[in-house]
Amino acid sequence: MKHIFISKDTNELETLNELMGDHSFRFECRSLIDFKPRSFDLPNDFDVIFFSSIRSAKFLSESKKIDLDKYGIACAGPQTALKLNEMGLEADFIAADASSPELVSKEFSVWLGTRKVFIPVSNRSLHSIEEFISPEQIKRAILYETLLLPLKVLSRDILVFTSPSNVHAYFIENEISAHSVVIAWGHSTKKTLLGYGCQSSVVLKDGTLTELKSILESML
């Protein structure tokens, strides 16, 4: 039996329900981070809102400071687009390769043109989407704090890290065994793991649960 850790809570992993019933795997699913809203001033004079995660969309919506239907909506990939759709929001721009922040920034910059964009973020944001966008076009605000929740993780055969912050939280209380298969959710997570001397075995390209399921099934 392979022991798998995924840095997401079980209620966010519905796509993996069938796999979780497979006795070849034993799952330990829990996020190592939490979120807390912050007060913020909404900038003015922008045309598009870019959501790097569903979290930023939810905090912005819950703030009641903005009518999201009045702006163009852009997001970092299909998984975020799906969650936005569940909120009643349709993305006008969806990055084709969510795993590569550099490509997302380049692609989004071309689509954005000369328009101005509001980017709501966490206090731990890497600001990678801004790389190829002119500073004069960017409006930003910190909407929430990402809190690290260091916990002892028992499962070590396969480790799935879903964000850089989850990587930081993991290494406060844990190490990675030499035999562990490490799956990184995108290149930012891969880069963070490298900072701890850990080479990812697999890097998710699309950043979807369907892709993760396919990878785990291939390891049966």
Give the model's pLDDT for residue 91. 98
Q: Which of 112, 115, 140 is nearest to 43 (CA)?
A: 140
d(CA 164, CA 45) in angstroms, rounded, equals 31
Q: Are residues 83 and 165 in the same domain?
A: no
Residue with tokens 């009643």: 88
User: Which pLDDT tens digit goes with each residue over 162-190?
Assistant: 999 999 999 999 999 999 999 999 999 99
Give the model's pLDDT for residue 179. 92
8-state DSSP, 130: G
Domain limits for position 20: 2-32+149-218
CATH at 119: 3.40.50.10090
Instruction: Using CA atoms of 171, 180, 98, 187 in order, give the dihedral in degrees to the nearest 10.
Output: 60
What's the one-letter identity of residue 199?
Answer: Q
Which residues are bridge partners to 37 per DSSP?
144
Cβ atoms of residues 130 and 105 within 8 Å: yes
d(CA 64, CA 62) in angstroms, rounded, equals 5
The residue among 104, 129, 146 that closes a domain is 146
Q: Are residues 206 and 108 in the same domain?
A: no
User: Which pLDDT tens digit goes with each residue over 194-204?
Assistant: 999 999 999 99
Give the model's pLDDT for residue 21. 82
pTM (two decimals):
0.90
Q: Are residues 43 and 54 in the same domain?
A: yes
Give the model's pLDDT for residue 25. 84
Domain count, the chain: 2
Cα 67–chain centre separation? 24
User: Which pLDDT tens digit goes with each residue over 130-162?
Assistant: 999 999 999 999 999 999 999 999 988 999 999
Q: Are residues 193 and 174 in the same domain?
A: yes
Q: In what order do the strands lie in the sheet with 33-37?
A: 33-37, 138-148, 117-122, 48-51, 72-75, 93-94
Cβ atoms of residues 51 and 29 within 8 Å: no
Q: Are residues 153 and 166 in the same domain?
A: yes
The residue among 95, 125, 146 that closes a domain is 146
Q: Are residues 6 and 102 in the same domain?
A: no
User: Which pLDDT tens digit goes with each residue over 30-63?
Assistant: 999 999 999 999 999 999 999 999 999 999 999 9
Q: Are residues 49 and 68 in the same domain?
A: yes
Q: Record the tokens describing residue 122, joined without a space.
A: 């966490």
Give the model's pLDDT for residue 97. 82
